[in-house]
Amino acid sequence: MQQIGEKFMRPGRRIGQEDSSVDSALEEALLPPSREIDVLADTQSEPAGMAIDAGVADLKVLFHDGKVALPVTLAIQTSTGLHRGVHMSRLVHAAMSHGSPDIFSWLRRVCKEVNRSQPGSSVTCSFELPYADQFIPVSIRTSERGSVLYKFTAKGMTACPCSKRMIGVGHMQRAEIAMMVKCKKPIDMLKLVEKIEECFSAVPTEEMKRVEEAKKILEAQDHARFAEDLVRECAKRFPNSIYIRARCFESIHAHDAIATWSKKTGWVPEL
């Protein structure tokens, strides 16, 4: 039987025998071409005729103050100067620095680190600030020196003064106030949120019994306010504010009510 099997095999090849020359040639053909890494290449530093701001966005890191770790999202930008691009890995590296006593000092430190090799940086930091049983969205924009821009968005509720006047009960809805303030020094964020909450008809509480809910409704009815009133109340409490927006999520309409105020008429800042 073995002789019959060998009769129908190609000369020079037996069952189980490997053709090493063919296999070697195949392996060599499948290998990627040999490449060397040019460690001195610096494409970002190539000349360019126009300076623009560039950087990284949606960079999620943990801020450490030595006691707690707070998840934050960063956007870091700096000028390209007359170069083609920004070394973005340096921006990420700067964001990984720790040991600052507060978030304000940390953001200044990030900008200082970036400015060592790429001057003109700014950083925007967004996070949720725990306050009572709520979480307040906060954004901070700063540079190594100069003023700091804060944005706070607080949630509350309003009772309508119009229906309150007409029938004795104001229809109620959730509302929010977004405010931007410009400061030269760090501010007490918890105290600021407390003052913003004073502008609403009442503020939400997560866990309440029936009697507590009833008292919350009466509190709102005693301080019935339009969206416009929220903006005025906020501006009165924060003379250093530069932009205020109130929004009431209407309960008897499919649309919402909004009101805004800006230090510069018609100006809507971005942060």
Same domain, 167 and 93: no
Same domain, 160 and 252: yes
Q: What contacts 68, CB < 8 A, 6 or more positions away?
A: none
The tokens for 214 are 């009833």
Please check whether residue 7 lies inside any domain of the structure: no
Q: Please tell me the distance from the alpha carbon of residue 76 to that of residue 64, in angstroms, as a whole number.
A: 18
Residue 230 buriedness (CB in 10 A; 0-12 / 13-18 / 19+): buried
Helices (H), the chain: 2-7, 20-30, 88-95, 103-115, 161-167, 189-197, 210-222, 227-237
The domain boundary, picked from 146, 167, 190, lies at: 146
- In this predicted structure, the answer to whether residue 157 has a pLDDT above a threshold of 90 is yes
- What pTM was estimated for this model as a whole? 0.81
| Structural domain range at position 106 | 46-146
CA distances from 37 to 29, 43, 67 (A): 22, 14, 43
Please check whether residue 216 lies inside any domain of the structure: yes
Same domain, 133 and 170: no
Same domain, 188 and 159: yes
Task: Give the whole-number percent of the chain exceeding pLDDT 70.
Answer: 87
CATH of the domain at 164: 3.10.270.10
Query: Residue 8's pLDDT is what?
Result: 45
Closest CA to 131 of 149, 103, 153: 153
Sorting pLDDT into bands at 50, 70 and 90, what band is 221?
very high
Q: What is the mean pLDDT of residues 33-59?
A: 90
Q: What does the pLDDT look like over 222-256, one tens digit per residue?
A: 999 999 999 999 999 999 999 999 999 999 999 99
Q: Please tell me the distance from the alpha carbon of residue 241 to that of residue 182, in angstroms, as a whole number.
A: 6
Q: Please tell me the distance from the alpha carbon of residue 4 to that of residue 6, in angstroms, as a whole number.
A: 5
CATH of the domain at 139: 3.30.1130.10
Helices (H), 14-170: 20-30, 88-95, 103-115, 161-167
